[in-house]
Structure 1
Amino acid sequence: MRKDQRVKKNSEFQDIFQKGTSFANRQFVVYKLKKPQQIDFRIGLSVSKKIGNAVKRNQIKRYVRQVFLELKDEVKKEYDYVIIARKPAAEMNFHEVKKSLLHVFKRGSVLKMKSNGENVKKG
């Protein structure tokens, strides 16, 4: 994930929280905000200290970034996304994180649709 694909500033996070829409499951909350002038999507990650030590928090962030990297062609480009990890995410391996994020993405229609109305990529 390139540096220019990340939401970094607090003001940008607050903008997404206030103006964007959110959807969630037990492990993750995802906020999205449409930015029509944007060429590529950007993501911001929030993993609380309640979830675990620095090693665990960084591991979760790496997993989420890797999921976005694998799905970069299917994710809608004109949005900023903020992903907030919840406590159950600390117990998950990469494949469980990916499955959980795919579930949340389907709920929030983050992935592009094929012409027949199905999501581009299945679990």
Structure 2
Amino acid sequence: MNSYDSLKKNRDFQNVYKNGKSKANKYLVMYVLENQLDSNRLGISVSKKVGNSVIRHHLTRLIRESYRLNKEMFNSGLDIVVIARESAKDRKYKEIESALLHLGKINGILNEKSM
């Protein structure tokens, strides 16, 4: 993932939280906001409630990899913030990937041709 593909600044996250729309499922919460760019920017948040730093970083890597391998399925020009829920901590890659794609579908941000 290139540095331009991710949200890093707190103000960017706060803007997506305040102005974006959100949907959730059992493992993840997704906020989506249009960004007037040609590419998507992904932000990932995993709270300390989920687990220690090893667990949090593992979950972050699973979410990032799920997005990276499926990013051609998502529409362009979006800021996407994914928040991991506590129930996601013991999940395998396929379950996280499925949850991410499910949220993309219910948010209406997946390309029709990829579905």
Q: Which residue in the other structure is 2:60 paired with?
A: 61
TM-score under structure 2 normalisation? 0.96
Q: Which residue in the other structure is 2:79 paired with?
A: 80
Which structure 1 segments of 5+ residues have no match? 115-119
Q: Which has the larger radius of gyration?
A: 1
Large movers: runs of 4+ above 2 Å = none
Contact in 1 for aligned 2:28/2:85 (Cα 8 Å): yes
SS at match of 1:43: strand
Q: CA deviation at 1:76?
A: 1.1
Q: Which residue in the other structure is 1:112 paired with?
A: 111
Q: Which residue in the other structure is 1:43 paired with?
A: 42
**Aligned equivalents of 1:67 and 1:82: distance in 2?**
14
TM-score under structure 1 normalisation? 0.90
Contact in 1 for aligned 2:28/2:84 (Cα 8 Å): yes
Which structure 2 segments of 5+ residues have no match? none
Query: How many residues were matched structurally?
Result: 115
| RMSD, aligned α-carbons | 0.9
**Aligned equivalents of 1:102 and 1:71: distance in 2?**
8
